[in-house]
Structure 1
């Protein structure tokens, strides 16, 4: 079902005229927002919805995302998805199932996913990569990983900002998340470890940072002709100066109130590219950190230096409702480009710039 236009005009034609049929796979926070975007999209047609929960099977897609009935009901049958005539699946499960992925690709259905396994094909397990590529070849299909972070901020933005450089000493992406109004005690206290006595980051968390953000750093470095020697991860915490009330509960003075984890792409003994995530429940911490509102701050140290702030001007109490769109919408907007791509695992550097069709 893929087409393979090679010119800019062909891509423009694809965006303007091709009514792609899309299946939404999974309806969590991100998937529900993607489902809504597909239904409301002027040049995409909803072909199906795949769900995991028993209580969602048979329900109308519109009901699942707060829209009027569509006549499309949710299923848990991959056979029904394959038989739906879909051009593309928006694949957004909690975990990647390579059997599912290969089945869909081999059957002729392209995939755009917010899973991170496909950001950097060169870094994938060779056997897994070969299997996925074979499925793409069989179905003449492509698969692409994207989202907001990783994705937009770790790949699309750095590639744009470095397009005016002729020398790059360092590019650092800071991501900030103010969690003070996040009413999720289990997430903050049990999973993330806020409110505990300060201690070292576990190797599991550092490994997660390397595997989550390292592929994007490697992809960008390769594109710039500056391949990395390694990706290193580190973590640090800051404590509350005073007893602090947040939406999820209470942080006692001296307990963890802010966390920072860094993935650094190393080349010739120094960090060429760096992604640094800072999560905080209060800005009044020890040691004092430069924390900013929820959003991103990107600095480029090169011969055309840049300092870029991207903030999300949304009240914190509404962030939970708005934030899924940052990830879901880029995936939805990528559908025409992935369907038009040559078969295979397609990274951000393989595709044209993703442009939203808002007509």
Structure 2
């Protein structure tokens, strides 16, 4: 019999990512699911296994935060839409560590001072820690790039290009109304760039501090490019001349010099008016310095399996981080101060 520790885990929310994390906890050899929070009245009372496509596990979902705050658990996977600071602080103060996909905790120095103080006090009270991670930001902006930089002694610029082909996503409201694909060309809505600046700017700023190049300026810019030809995608029709691709660039500077850059290339067609060198979904990472590197990351998954594959990119790293976060010193933890996250499979 294995003498490895079993972690008592609460899953908080069951959206696309939360449902995948829930199933990963249920199937994990070193974890026991002990609680499940749902915001929907319709889901309350249902078995956790039913809500993620697994067999029944005997844990019923609840929409009572207080019920779960009072529950004995080692860690909460906090994956709700939006953040409730009272909820987070109550969980931490009750003795539960938190791993979250929320972006507010990537770099404590950039947090609102009042919220940071509240969270740190809750961590001291509960002797707990909180850590934010996921695929992007998180894995690609922190964990993946540190080994690439570890062979350098002069750093000029790190550029991370993210490519996301949205053409197979059958979500008309998301693609057309919220994201703006297929809409008439117009100036880029700078609010979209500022939104990404918060999460990606803080994640890259954590990296900048870790490598001795603290960030003192963050710039966010967005661009749109029109589709050259009319096409049909899963969500509907993109007319020629309407928005076919969008690119948001987050640039971090140290003493006026660009040192870290993230570009989000989201598109429904690669046949666009601008030469953005779009490619299939994944990442391209370029380091410039005395040991330059160019690394391409692709997702070798059939198109018909893609929708089932992508949630794991964000959900699995938080699950794998639970043992490390539970063993960490109390406080707001970051990738740069935690040990390497290593998964266990059996």
Report if the CA contact (8 A) 1:141-1:344 is conserved. yes
In 2, distance between residues paired with 1:165 and 1:197? 45
Counterpart residue number, 2:190 = 203
Secondary structure of the residue aligned to 2:103 is coil
**Consecutive unaligned residues in structure 1, runs of 5 or more:** 1-14
Which of 268, 272, 288 aligns to 2:275? It is 288
Secondary structure of the residue aligned to 2:147 is helix
Counterpart residue number, 2:287 = 300
Secondary structure of the residue aligned to 2:202 is helix
Report if the CA contact (8 A) 1:181-1:317 is conserved. no
Counterpart residue number, 2:157 = 170
For residues 285-311 of structure 1, give each alpha carbon's deviation from its aligned partner in whole angstroms, at most 9, with x where no partner exists: 102320111000000011111100111
Counterpart residue number, 1:358 = 345
Counterpart residue number, 2:329 = 342
In 1, distance between residues paired with 2:127 and 2:199? 28
* Per-residue deviation, 1:318: 2.6
Report if the CA contact (8 A) 1:240-1:256 is conserved. yes
In 2, distance between residues paired with 1:215 and 1:184? 29
TM-score (norm 1): 0.94
In 2, distance between residues paired with 1:315 and 1:201? 33
Counterpart residue number, 1:84 = 71
For residues 181-211 of structure 1, give each alpha carbon's deviation from its aligned partner in whole angstroms, at most 9, with x where no partner exists: 1111111111111112222222211210210
Report if the CA contact (8 A) 2:251-2:260 is conserved. yes
* Per-residue deviation, 1:16: 6.8
Counterpart residue number, 2:46 = 59
Q: 1:16 to 1:293 in 2, by over 3 A?
A: farther
In 2, distance between residues paired with 1:292 and 1:270? 28
Which of 258, 270, 279 aligns to 1:271? It is 258
In 1, distance between residues paired with 2:3 and 2:161? 36
For residues 93-123 of structure 1, give each alpha carbon's deviation from its aligned partner in whole angstroms, at most 9, with x where no partner exists: 0001000000000010100000001110111
In 1, distance between residues paired with 2:316 and 2:3? 18
Q: 1:263 to 1:16 in 2, by over 3 A?
A: farther
Aligned residues: 345
Counterpart residue number, 1:213 = 200
**Consecutive unaligned residues in structure 2, runs of 5 or more:** none
In 1, distance between residues paired with 2:121 and 2:148? 35
- Equivalent positions of 1:187-266 (< 5 A) are 187-266=174-253
In 1, distance between residues paired with 2:49 and 2:239? 44
Q: Runs in 1 of length 4+ with deviation above 6 angstroms? A: none
Counterpart residue number, 1:9 = none
Report if the CA contact (8 A) 1:265-1:274 is conserved. yes
In 1, distance between residues paired with 2:278 and 2:263? 12
| 2:141 paired with 1:154 | yes
Report if the CA contact (8 A) 2:190-2:222 is conserved. no
Counterpart residue number, 1:5 = none
Secondary structure of the residue aligned to 1:217 is helix
Report if the CA contact (8 A) 1:57-1:75 is conserved. yes
In 1, distance between residues paired with 2:187 and 2:258? 22
Report if the CA contact (8 A) 1:111-1:142 is conserved. yes
In 1, distance between residues paired with 2:161 and 2:301? 19
In 2, distance between residues paired with 1:182 and 1:70? 31
Which of 129, 141, 145 aligns to 1:142? It is 129
| 2:94 paired with 1:112 | no
In 1, distance between residues paired with 2:93 and 2:276? 50
In 2, distance between residues paired with 1:51 and 1:191? 24
TM-score (norm 2): 0.97
